[in-house]
Amino acid sequence: MSAHGNAKLNPNLVIARYRAGGTLRSLASEFGVTHEGIRQCLLAHGQSLRPHGWHSRLDPEIAALAAEIAADIPKQFPAGASVSDLVDWLGSSPTRIKQAIDVLLARGTIKSVSAGVWA
């Protein structure tokens, strides 16, 4: 085990939580390691890091919507979802859904499976 305790980390789980919006410090607390241990784990497994302070610039409503989409899209829409699917399901505006999708695409949390459909 390293000095940062990252030998006990599941890299796939750490990356998934990071892509869903977890910060280095929140993930460190969740997994019982240092934020440097989380950072090293992410980098060692090819995950690029977001700029420092990104979360303070993200609209909280968009962040919450993005987290909800990231958590539930695979279960609710295994073949992928369109903006209209997500509007009907979440009851949010198409503009807000598109903003949340942009956040998730930038994070690599979801991907485009065809024109206007994400999974």
Mean pLDDT of the chain: 80
| CA gap 25, 89 in Å, rounded | 32
Domain-located, residue 52: no
Domain-located, residue 50: no
Q: What is the pLDDT of residues 51-89, one digit of tens each?
A: 766 555 667 778 888 888 888 888 888 888 888 888 898
Instruction: Give me the mean pLDDT over the 82-101 stretch.
Output: 87
- In which domain, by residue range, is 37 found? 6-44
What is the domain count for the chain? 2
Q: Are 35 and 11 part of one and the same domain?
A: yes
Nearest to 44 by CA among 70, 64, 18: 18
Q: What is the pLDDT of residues 31-53, one digit of tens each?
A: 899 989 999 999 999 988 877 66
| CA gap 7, 77 in Å, rounded | 34
